[in-house]
Structure formats: structure tokens, C-alpha cells
Structure 1
């Protein structure tokens, strides 16, 4: 297999098979957990957060594996699928707790449909994590530093109490209402408009270091700094994904990546894996073409 046959820009139709994506591109939870290589000290931080029932705040540059920590922990501790809340500057605490389709309910009423309020409610990722269940859930709050300035403090109140209220249900005549959960079409029962966890969720929050947080927020978290990978950890990660037998070209690329990291260039580990995949699996036809592909993939993340 070579790189050239897929697209050549000459208007000619290509009828052959398209390339198979790298195994990590659509990896299962099991695959991601088994190929993850935690840095020194991370296991202690995870266990401390677990024992104290405190959120784990992971800080580090993009591509250092912060989000993968949640997948790894959820798999090893059998916490089910990761509930993912990706935070932006427009994110609100309410949307993470529940969503209410008021217009949909009004439209149903106009069409004389039964007033089943549960049809128009869905718990968000945080709300689902706080539902009654036999085993804790894993909640990933991704890029908390992108949030509005007040969101971390608002989040603390819910995390501390482990419960919240849905006003639309506290005023409803039914004592028990079935509402949809965030992950799929499953439902859960909300009693008198209140959700209170029985098993406190494991919460991982990621932070790219773009802002500071108030001391009351930080003291309620277990904090861990994800280090930039060194030569040994990079080699472990590469072997976990690509096996022990690497070509000389792959070893040269690994050495080049290590040197660039040492010069404080902003590069992510998955960029290295992608470059290695092109060099090893796709077998560019010559050194010049290979160099262009590597340059294309291994661009510094601090520049556009």
C-alpha cells in the first residue's frame, strides 16, 4: 500500500479500497484503557480523589492524555460509559443538570395529548451522574477553564451536596416522574422534583491552564499536573499502540519528536502516533514525500 493511489487531483475516478483508519481513531473503551500509560503519580491522585469523593482536576497542555484518564478509570473500576460534558464560554450549570422542552410540551397540550411532562425532560451529563444508582458513574467535565467565570463556583454547590432540584417537577402533581437520562434512551425516576445521588460520581475535570480558579474551588479538588511526555513514556505509548518492532524510520521520527518536545514546542502525543501511522502503515513512496507528510501532521499547536 502506498500513499498516492487514493486522491491525485487529476479528475480520474479511483475504485480501489480506501485506507483503514489507525486503530486509535475509533478505539473502543477497552482499547483506550489498555493502551493508556499513566504518568508517575497519577494513580495516587486518582485513588485519593476516589477515597475522598472529590473531583480530580487535571491540568496540562492539549494532547497529554487528560480526557483519556476518565476512560481508563471508568473501564478499570467498571463505572460504565463516561458521561461527557464539554464546557464552553456559553455553558450553564442548568444545561448540565437537565433540559426542559417547554415549547414541545405546550405544542402537545394544544393537540390534546396526555400531559406527560417526563417526555419533555432529559437529564444532562451531570444530572445523570447524580441519579440514584448501584455503582458510581464517571463524569468528564472537559475544558472547565473555558467556562464563564461564575460556573466553577456554581458547580461547587451541586458537587458538595450531591443533589439538585428540577423546578418544573416540584410544581407538578405527580410525585414520581420518569425522565430520560443523558446516555441513550434509558430513564430514571425523579421523586418530588429532586435528584439526590446515592453513589457519588467520580468526576474528572480537565484544564488547559488558560485561567486561574478561586481557592474555594481548588481546595475541594484533588489536583494533578499532567507532565509533558519524556523519552521513556513516549516509547511506552508508541509500543502500546504500534507494537515493539519499529522501523528505523519510525525510531528516527520518535527521536525527532522527543527533541522538539525538549525545545518546548507545543505538540500532542496523538500527532506522533498519526505521523508514525503514515510512515509505517501507508509507506510513502520516497523520503521527500514522507518528510512532507510528517511536516503536515507534526505542526506546532501554538501556531495556526
Structure 2
């Protein structure tokens, strides 16, 4: 059941080893990396390659660990009791299973994605330790224990917005997705746009890496943004001509809004271009 690159996802050897090691150890795989480097897509492609279901738990700043287990709607039950609705005596009617419950009760082994875990409160990871270790949890309202029928493959992503607790990290297999080098980016482009003219790809990659290396840039363009930019270039012949024959007075590449996402970086690049012109470059 070894994971490999797919028709839509280019995985480095290090990433393949990390995925397969986590599966072998039956540990959650904690994935970090720049936004746009394919952390979430990894879980999607892993589920596809294993021909199984993907259960996705998108974590927000307000998300609590207990919501991944289940939620008891006491308010609805009280309202229904006041209205005399049938079934109110059965508390199970007011229990909403969470994503862990869904993954635990699946008929076959699934991939469970806990996406952007660092968005939640610092205690969120610790509150899941026992459930992820034992693969079970207790439902107090119905006096039942929910156990995993098949241990899910767990992928946890983080954008490093906050540090995760040591006790949680100890239970994970960790991998950092480094930003792709030029050859890997070329392979990623080939997956999305096979047969793309080498002249266009080379020109786009030159500009892309120049932008990423610009000193002081607040947000460097990501892999996913490069793919979006290429899609726009393919649909705009005038932009392609500008790309191949750049004017020295142009501070930004054509359709730069796909790559540059804030006004600070726009102004920075304009200033850098102005300074280069003054130096006679």
C-alpha cells in the first residue's frame, strides 16, 4: 500500500517516505510547509491512490476538539419537548457525529485530514491525544463507546501559525514540504499543463523565482499561484508577448495579481524596479 506520485500530484522521494512511514507506524502524519505547497492536496491524492474515502475536518479559530467527536444539541431537544414532538425521549436523535466519529465508523479504512490544526486554540491538539492514541471515545449522553472499525490514515496540516504541544508532536510523524526546486516545479507544471511550450515555461519560471528572491517580500508566490498564473497566461496571448519581450519600465509581470497578493509587495517591487533603472540596469 505504498504511496507514490499520482497523475495529478508530484511527490518528492522524501514525502513518499514520510507518508509510507506514518502508515507503517500507524501514527498521524504532521505536514508543514508554505501555504500553497500541496499539503491539503496530499491527503486528497492519497485517498484517491488508495481508492478510499477522504474525511476532511477543516479547523477554524473557534473549533473545539470535542466537535470532532460529536455535538449534543440540547437546545433543540428542549424546544422539541416543549412542542411535544415525537422522539424527544431518545437522546441519540440529538447527537451529531463529528469527523472523527465518521472516520471511526467507516466500513473501510479512510484517510482523515485534520486541516490547518494550528488555527485552533493551543489546547486543541492536546485534547485529541487520547482519542488519536486509543482510536476510541466515550459518548456520555448515550453511554456508548465509539471505537474505530479500521484505524484511519491521519494527515494533519499546519501553516506554523503557532507552536504545537510537545506531547502532541511526540505522537506524530513529521515532514516539512520544502519549496520545490526548479526541476520539481517543472514536473508539477508538466502534470497540470502537459505539452506546454518550453519557451513559455522557462520565461515564467525565471520571473517566478526572481519574485520569490526579491528582498523584503511579505508574501512569496507559491506553487499553486504559479499554476494559476500559467493558466491565465495560456488564455492571454498579449500577456505571453509581454512575458517574452519584457519592457524595462515594467515593474511587475503581466497578470501579476495571480502572484502578488498585497499592496506592500506591489509597492516594494515598483521601488526595486525604479532603483534598478536608476543604476542603469
Q: Taking structure 2 as the reference length, what is the TM-score of the superposition?
A: 0.80
Structure 2: any 5+ residue segments left out of the alignment?
Answer: 247-251, 266-281
Q: Does 1:123 align with 2:97?
A: yes
Q: Does 1:94 align with 2:45?
A: no
Q: For residues 137 and 196 of structure 1, what CA distance do their matches in structure 2 show?
A: 14
Q: For residues 70 and 303 of structure 1, what CA distance do their matches in structure 2 show?
A: 33
Q: How much is the aligned-residue C-alpha RMSD, in angstroms?
A: 2.5
Are the aligned partners of 1:163 and 1:194 in contact in 2 as well (CA < 8 Å)? yes
Structure 2 residue aligned with 1:152? 125
Superposition pairs of residues 182-221 of structure 1, within 5 angstroms: 193-221=144-172
Q: For residues 239 and 151 of structure 1, what CA distance do their matches in structure 2 show?
A: 39
Q: For residues 215 and 286 of structure 1, what CA distance do their matches in structure 2 show?
A: 49
Could you tell me how far 1:247 is from its partner in structure 2? Answer: 5.9
1:261 corresponds, among 212, 234, 242, to 212
Higher relative contact order (CA 8 A, sep 6+): 1
Structure 2 residue aligned with 1:29? none
Size of the aligned set, in residue pairs, is 249
Could you tell me how far 1:140 is from its partner in structure 2? Answer: 0.9
Could you tell me how far 1:262 is from its partner in structure 2? Answer: 4.6
| Cα deviation 1:253-276 (Å, max 9, x = unaligned) | 122113333558522111111111
Q: For residues 90 and 234 of structure 1, what CA distance do their matches in structure 2 show?
A: 35
Could you tell me how far 1:168 is from its partner in structure 2? Answer: 1.6
Q: For residues 285 and 263 of structure 1, what CA distance do their matches in structure 2 show?
A: 22
Distance 1:235 1:105, change over 3 A: same
Structure 1 residue aligned with 2:20? 47
Structure 1 residue aligned with 2:187? 236
Could you tell me how far 1:51 is from its partner in structure 2? Answer: 1.2
Q: Does 1:79 align with 2:52?
A: yes
Q: For residues 79 and 157 of structure 2, what CA distance do their matches in structure 1 show?
A: 40
Q: For residues 64 and 285 of structure 1, what CA distance do their matches in structure 2 show?
A: 25
| Cα deviation 1:86-145 (Å, max 9, x = unaligned) | 2222211111111222222222222322224343222111221122x4421211111111
Distance 1:169 1:282, change over 3 A: farther
Q: For residues 242 and 281 of structure 1, what CA distance do their matches in structure 2 show?
A: 13
Give 1 or 2: higher helix fraction. 2
Structure 1: any 5+ residue segments left out of the alignment?
Answer: 1-31, 171-192
